[in-house]
Structure 1
Amino acid sequence: MASRNDRGPVAVVDIGSNSVRLIVYDDAIRSPGPIYNEKVLCGLGRSIASSGKLDTEGVSRALRALRRFRSLADQLKAERIEVIATAAAREAENGPEFIAQAERILGRQVTVLSGTMEAELAALGIIAGIYAADGFVGDLGGGSLELIDVRGGRLSDAITMPLGGLRLIDESGGNMKKAREIVDRAFSKLDWLEKGRGRDFYAIGGTWRALARLHMTQTNYPLRVMHNYRIEADEALKFASLLDHQSQSSLAGIRDISSARRETIPYGALVLERLMKQMKPRAIVVSVLGIREGLLYNLLSDEERAKDPLIEACAYLAKQRSRSQQNAWELSAWTEPLFRMPGPVETPEQTRLRQAACLLSDITWRAHPDYRGAQCLNMVAHGDFVGVDHPGRAFLALAAYYRNEGVIKNDELSQRLVELVDKEALKRARILGAAFRAAHMVTAAMPGVLPHTPLSYEGNRLIWQLPEPYANLEGERVERRFKTLANLLDREPEIRVGAPFQLAAG
């Protein structure tokens, strides 16, 4: 794994039609960690459709924000600052004048993205953050909507359309019926939308994230993590249809919707509803990654891009927070025989989740023992990593929880997370938790032991070899924890103490 901070922080300034944002990442690597994130809703594109120019107040607010962002990037010692601007700056008559002012303030060239470039960077953001993405990407901003097809890491059918929330409000005069006609007319010209039928639709943009956050609240969803939040198509269509008929006054009383987002929510819901009716996807998948992360991904080497973002993020956490990252990797190899025949055989996706769980197994060892399980559960369930869906995230959190609390105990939060996994995944999480507990009794989380104390199946028995010089590590607690693991695998436990070391078959 590439070490972080070899090159120093990287800042991205995104000048959008509705918001201006600064994100500073710790490094340009496969799984970058944001160390600072600030957004100012300026509304630059509020009046472009009617006046052809950037909003005067929006320009003033944006330039003020950019002065602050420049100082923050310098304070955080960003080695590189990338600045991009999207639809509003691209289309406005006074766009070039505004860009020149922004460049003087930031001391950097501003790249004004074409619509195609916006779509491609949004798609790269999805590839960077969603494992094996396959579907259409939609990035809804204040001024435009970008659509692009992603399949097998390849991009096609990219288009930009003037259907952003602020643009629709301006062009329709705030009339939802007229806005619906504008949207339907635009989508009727895209005969290739049917390629999205039965596939996922990846939704990017603050308005769609606000819609998803509201859906989480309405459904009492157990996990408050926005990235990779999935809403099945029928449910998403009903919810979007409900929201696009709401008035500003009815939305004002909903705490989950900020006042700044209130005016664009119905229009974002309208675009989503009409798009779904044309495309007929199987589900809406919300992404917090978009053009900024796509920009970083585009800077990476082919070797770095090929890395798994989930494993990279978990390996970093293991390095920073575990007693030994090497032991975590050894734990991954040590548990592998449990998931071969005649045990529960893994799919490739289950293998990567097991590897991630091993890397996360010791990250809260410094916490007080009475709170270690709850802290680990929270840290993993709400961790700032990507490349995993919500059932996978719940699996990782539960495996970490069972490692610290035992495989029987459940508290309120862990019980809520159980709702997100199926019975097979829950059993795997318990098996891993039990394996981690048994392994810890002989390693004390230190490296160099597990490669010499392998597991194997023999008939109806689960065998654990403790050859010399590890024979003295055997004890009552080791036996109890190993018995729990064997029982979960429907096997009789046998610890072979002092036997000559033998590699497990397979």
Structure 2
Amino acid sequence: MIGNGPQGSSLGVNVGEHSSGRRAIIDIGSNTVRLVVYNGPPRAPVVILNEKVSAKLGKDLNKNGLLSAKSMQTALAALARFAAMLDMLGIDDVDCVATAASRDAQNGPEFLASVRRLGLSPRLLTGEEEARASANGVIAAFPGARGIVGDLGGGSLELVAIDGDVCRGGITLPFGTLRLPDLRSGGPVRFASAVRDGLARADFSSGAGQPLYIVGGSWRALALQAMHDIDWPLDDPHDFELAPDVALRMCRQLEKAKPEKADPRISSSRLASLPDAAALLGQLVERLSPSRIVFSSWGLREGLVFARLDAATRAQDPMLAGVEGFARSASVDPQHAAAVARWTAAVCEQSPQDTNLRLASTMLALAAMRTEPNLRAQEAMSWALRKRWVGINARGRAMMAMCVFANSGLTEVPPTFARLAPPEDLRAAVGWGLAIRLCRRLTGCADKALALTALRRQGEELVLVLQEPVEALLTTSTTKDLKHLAEWTGLEGRVKTGADA
């Protein structure tokens, strides 16, 4: 998804606030207790610390309605460590939340009282609040998204409709991964009936013909397995999609047994829960009839961060904000990158939704120049394809990768890219990269040189204009760069200098 609604830059880099105050989320879940510390742009927070402990607070809830003493002890030990770490790091912007297990257990209040004695201030989320937080995380990652969000945790499944914003009526169902083994022990027919009845009791029938965005570690493991099975060129499960029939077929296979050849990135605990998670997803696909299944790595925690942002910051393009933050860390001035993007615009014919993508690609291309020459092309391509950008799809990643590749003078399209983007889009991205290459090699991206030179398309000609003070910038190499770019775009290259400029 590229620039489909959030504030664009118009090649002016107006993504807004760039403050990087650290903030932390402590998520006391039914399966794990986790601390995540974020830094970087508020609209595209970067994880700088992520630590979890598998406390399994919700493991025995179905038996006696209580959090076990062992689970509480494990959780409290982890939380004590988290509190001490935050104190040593000097982080006081902390949002501590508790979800299904603490909410459903009879001794949940006593457990949360123990948490408070550690100096933390846990908020007990209702089922609807939990659903809305997860939905906010999806909306933050997929601006303007419409459909259904499903978040599978250890103790519960949350479902909520979204329509560019979170709709009312989110529900929570007792279908968490810790409870699924008991629910499935009676056989597939009884399990299907339990899911159907749960949806009916909650009066949740939305979703037909709309995307189903799914959140949760066990479902991300399912995405990793699907990507492994088809040898997908990307390795980030975020924004990976499955058609309903493909997802249903895969779920029917996995619900019977763990895969014979599992993706090595799937942990042993996630692998153990894969059949149960697949069985539940299969039921949801059958009951909700979605148009497609989209995996999201952003969920409850990112939703809590997003909910605190002001309206202007929320409206920013998360992809552009993330790339800009990365570019700044590589000593690239986003304003200079925007000037380069404007300089190259004459040969970058594209639909308006690609304006931010081209600017982000320009930032990465210039950042690549800060690395060692023998690493530039491959490292920049890895940034484009493998970093956790949000607000960008497979097509956008492939175009970004081809742009930074061409910036190094390489125009041959890797065969795997054809699975990610149409040939005409990849060819256009090569043109972006060649134009950036010409600009930076001619002007050094100096403000004065950019102001006294221009690249113009005049009929069937691509004209490089140099005013008299900078005529000396033109070299044999930059003349060849102009010729290469002109040939790539099907034009005749020409240079205008001095009085002719």
Query: Under a length normalisation based on structure 2, what TM-score does the superposition of the two structures give?
Result: 0.92
- Identify the match of residue 348 of structure 1 among 347, 352, 370: 352
Q: CA deviation at 1:197?
A: 2.5
Query: Is the contact between residue 123 and residue 148 of structure 1 (CA under 8 Å) also seen in structure 2?
Result: yes
Describe the shift of the 1:139–1:76 C-alpha distance in structure 2 as closer, same or farther (beyond 3 A). Answer: same
1:93-145 CA-partner distances (Å, limit 9, x unpaired)? 0111111111222x121011011111111111011112331211110111111
1:376-387 correspondence runs (5 A): 376-387=380-391
Amino acid at match of 1:406: L
Tell me what 2:398 maps to: 394
Summarize the alignment of residues 171-210 of structure 1 with structure 2, pairs less than 5 Å apart.
Answer: 171-173=183-185, 176-189=188-201, 193=205, 195-210=206-221
Query: CA–CA distance in 2 between the matches of 1:173 and 1:4?
Result: 51
RCO greater where, 1 or 2, for CA within 8 Å and sep 6 or more?
Answer: 2
Q: Compared with structure 1, are the counterparts of its residues 432 and 110 closer, same or farther at alpha carbon in structure 2 (3 Å cutoff)? A: same
Give distance in 2, aligned partners of 1:492 and 1:15: 63
* RMSD of aligned residue pairs (Cα, Å): 2.1
Unaligned runs of 5+ in 1: 502-506
Which residue of structure 2 aligns with residue 120 of structure 1?
A: 132
Deviations 1:169-194 (A, max 9, x none): 2455575554333112223456653x
The reply on whether 1:325 has 2:338 as its aligned counterpart is no
Q: 2:94 aligns with which of 76, 81, 91?
A: 81
- Is the partner of 1:469 in helix, strand or coil? helix
Instruction: Name the structure 1 match of 2:173.
Output: 161
The alpha-carbon distance between structure 1 residues 150 and 347, as it changes in their structure 2 partners (threshold 3 A), is farther
CA distance in 2, matches of 1:114, 1:210: 27
Name the CA shift for 1:260/1:210 in 2 (closer, same or farther; >3 Å). Answer: same
Check conservation: 2:324, 2:363, Cα contact below 8 A: yes
Give CA-to-partner distance per residue, 1:347-366, whole Å, 9 cap, x none.
23222211211121111223
The answer to whether the 8 A contact 1:125-1:290 is kept is yes
CA gap of 1:416–1:310, structure 2 versus 1, over 3 A, is: same
CA shift for structure 1 position 394: 2.0
Distance 1:241 1:55 in 2: 34
Relative distance call for 1:297 and 1:420 in structure 2 (3 A) is: same
The verdict on how the C-alpha distance between 1:217 and 1:337 changes in structure 2, with shifts beyond 3 A counting, is: same
Match of 2:256 in 1: 245
1:366 is aligned to 2:370: yes
* 1:402-481 matched pairs, under 5 angstroms: 402-408=406-412, 414-481=414-481
Q: What is the aligned partner in structure 2 of residue 301 from structure 1? A: 310
Aligned 8 A contact 2:29 2:57 in 1: yes
Count of aligned pairs between the two proteins? 486
Task: Give the aligned partner of residue 496 of structure 2.
Answer: 496
Question: Does the Cα contact within 8 Å between 1:90 and 1:113 map onto a contact in 2?
Answer: yes
**1:24 to 1:323, Cα distance in 2 relative to 1, 3 A:** closer
**1:161 to partner: Cα distance:** 1.2
Shift of the 374–262 alpha-carbon distance from structure 1 to 2, 3 Å rule, reads closer
Letter in 1 for 2:92: E
Shifted more, 353-362 versus 178-187: the winner is 178-187
1:274: which partner in 2? 283
Distance across 2 between alignment mates of 1:16 and 1:208: 16
Per-residue CA deviation, residues 392-436 of structure 1 (Å, 9 max, x unaligned), is 11221221122124223x6xxx54334311112111111011111
CA contact (8 A) 2:462 2:493 kept: yes
Aligned to 1:23: 36
Report deviation, 1:378: 1.0
Counterparts of 1:375 and 1:252, CA distance in 2: 29
For 1:272 and 1:253, the matched residues in 2 are separated by: 19
Q: Using structure 1 for the length normalisation, give the TM-score.
A: 0.91
When residues 354 and 147 of structure 1 are mapped into structure 2, their CA distance, relative to the original with a 3 A threshold, is same
Cα shift readout 1:429-450 (whole Å, capped 9, x = no counterpart) = 1101111111111222333432
Question: How far did 1:80 drift?
Answer: 0.7
Structure 1 stretch 440-449 or stretch 123-132: which is displaced more? 440-449
- 1:317 partner letter: F
Deviation at 1:267, TM superposition (A): 1.7
User: How far apart, in 2, do the equivalents of 1:280 and 1:131 lie?
Assistant: 23
- For the pair 1:3 / 2:3, whether they are aligned, the reply is no
Does 2:151 match 1:142? no
Identity of aligned residues (%): 33
Alpha-carbon distance change, 335 to 190 in structure 1, aligned in 2, over 3 angstroms: farther
Q: 1:178 to 1:41 in 2, by over 3 A?
A: farther
